[in-house]
Amino acid sequence: MPERLHPIKRTVLEIARERPADTISPEELAAAAGVDLTDVYKLGLTVVDITESALGDLLDLLEEDMALIATRDTNEFALVADSHRMILEHLIDYAPLYLSSNTDRLWRVVTGRFLTYLTQRIEFHPERLPFQDASERDKKMLATYTAAGTVAAMEAWLRSGDTRDLDDAVTVIFAAAPSWIFDSSR
């Protein structure tokens, strides 16, 4: 568990690896973290809110690590593949959280990160879009569709239980990705 993470958030993630976050009481979280109940409520109204925030913070840390990878001298495809592998490893590490019964909010956090990334990618490379002069609405639709599909594929992979081969998962995700994602010839 990253030390850079808030202690209460580290604690909630440790407990939520064992059982769904919506079964953890604020009192239990406070006791496990060794803090006052008011400290827990400063972070969120519910334990699920705090868990969602903690996973968002973990993804922030992962994005920082991905930014370090991007400083390497390598091709764009390899950089994106490495970032997908890192996210798949994160999903394996926190599988009990993502696979528990009430996780739509948690998957939306991941989808939101992909949506932000793809929106930025479209802004940097509008020439790669499948048609010229795409409106803002069209760009949003393309990014949303691609982000949702990517994360849905990752969820299907995680739920399959066969998570041994990250490279195979990345290959399948890339095979399903729209062609404009990597097409620099447009």
pLDDT in tens, 98-137: 887 666 888 888 898 888 888 888 888 888 888 888 999 9
Percent of the chain with pLDDT over 90: 41
CA distance 65 to 63: 5
Q: Is the pTM of this model over 0.85?
A: no
Most confident of the following: 2-16, 32-46, 72-86, 90-104? 32-46
Mean pLDDT of all residues in the chain? 86
Residue 61 vs residues 68, 86, 107, 169: alpha-carbon distances, Å: 11, 11, 17, 22
Does the structure show a pLDDT above 60 at 185?
Answer: no
Amino acid 77: pLDDT = 74
Which CATH entry fits the domain spanning 1-58: 1.20.120, 1.10.760, 1.10.10, 1.20.1070?
1.10.10
Residues of the chain with CATH 1.10.10: 1-58
Does the structure show a pLDDT above 90 at 34?
Answer: yes
For residues 120 and 146, the model is more confident at 146
CA distance 101 to 176: 27
Does the structure show a pLDDT above 50 at 186?
Answer: no
Amino acid 168: pLDDT = 94
For residues 79 and 33, the model is more confident at 33
Q: Give φ, ψ of 75 to 5 degrees.
A: -85, 160
Sign of CA dihedral 77, 63, 9, 149: negative
Contact predicate 116/145, CB 8 Å: no
Residue 44 vs residues 29, 52, 57, 95: alpha-carbon distances, Å: 12, 10, 14, 22
CA distance 97 to 106: 8
